[in-house]
Amino acid sequence: MGAVTRPSTWPAVVLRGLGPRQAAPARLWIMIMIGTCTAVFFTAALLGDGGLDPLQLGCGIVLALFCLTVLALRPERAASLCVAGPLLGVAGVVVLDLGTADAGVTGQIFFTMPVLYAAVHLRVPGSVLVTAAAIGGDAIVVGRLLPLEEALTDLAFTGGMLILMGSVLTRAMVTQQRLVEKLRRQASVDPLTGLVTRRVLDDAVSAISSATSDTGTALVLIDVDKFKTINDTYGHAVGDDALVHIAAVLSARCRPQDVLARMGGDELAVLMTGCSYETALSRARDFVSTIHDQPLPLADGRRLALSISAGAAHAHQHTGSVRDLYISADTALYAAKRAGRGRVGELSGAERQALHVD
């Protein structure tokens, strides 16, 4: 049986929903914001007529310790605290304004800092929570220090400004994030075949040094034989259909953990983790024979015979390099094409040793 995944507790789920879009930038800016609030807090309190009272001193120490905690934690752990940062900032501004009896513009303007941070870095629920907390904090300040009519007027103006600022920035960041995710998907998936692109394959191949399997990793490069002839004879639409057909057939022959990618043009690749060289050769021969046995149905009822050539390379854990693996598989592929196509090319033992692969 597989390992049992421990369910997340509800606080962890809530914090993920309120937390930052990206942990590392959020951690940087939360330290800047809390550090600035702490500096302003101490400066204003020390310059006030009453000096620094115990409540102000305690709040300043809490802010400083929180900033140090975020700095010390790893980004993924600090991310859960990023929503607490602006809320502490709001509480610090409330204490600062009440301690200095400042309900004017100079006091209320500091409520914009947590809202700006939340709108730029937190998810939508987190931004809404911080904006609501800032409006609530401003209500406490003006309600304690101003007459009722003046307090309501200031609260309406400041609250409206905070809502407008937070909503506009949050909407802009959500739109930007959606565009970035769309571009990332377009860069990682080939629109014709639906296979992953060379970028994804390169990232996967680069991770072979951390593979845990003793059998190592194999790479099979595949080239469609006489693809230009198919395009010239039947047209580029049929050439596209041939690529889609081959991709579908190979996908059905791959394991869930294999990475099948379109390298570009008519060249494909299969990355096989936990696979020996002999197994990779056997599977590559299976790819070649399966494509041969499954011709492409054409619109007029005819069936177009297809053929592929393949070259396999293999590397044990922590041996060889990504470049050597590519070169080895590419060399084997061209050996298959020189030998007449429609087959799997192999490197000699001396060639594999020279390229530092099996």
Which of 270, 352, 262 lies closest to 316 in space, CA to CA? 352
Contacting residues for 41 by C-beta, under 8 A, at least 6 apart: 56, 59, 60, 63, 92, 95, 96
53 flagged as catalytic: no
d(CA 147, CA 142): 8
Name the strand (E) or helix (H) holding 202.
Answer: helix 198-206
d(CA 273, CA 271): 7
Cβ atoms of 167 and 151 within 8 Å: the answer is: no
Cβ atoms of 138 and 111 within 8 Å: the answer is: yes
From 190, 266, 330, 358, the catalytic residue: 266
Give the CA radius of gyration of the chain. 31
End-to-end CA, the chain: 33
Residues marked active site are found at 266
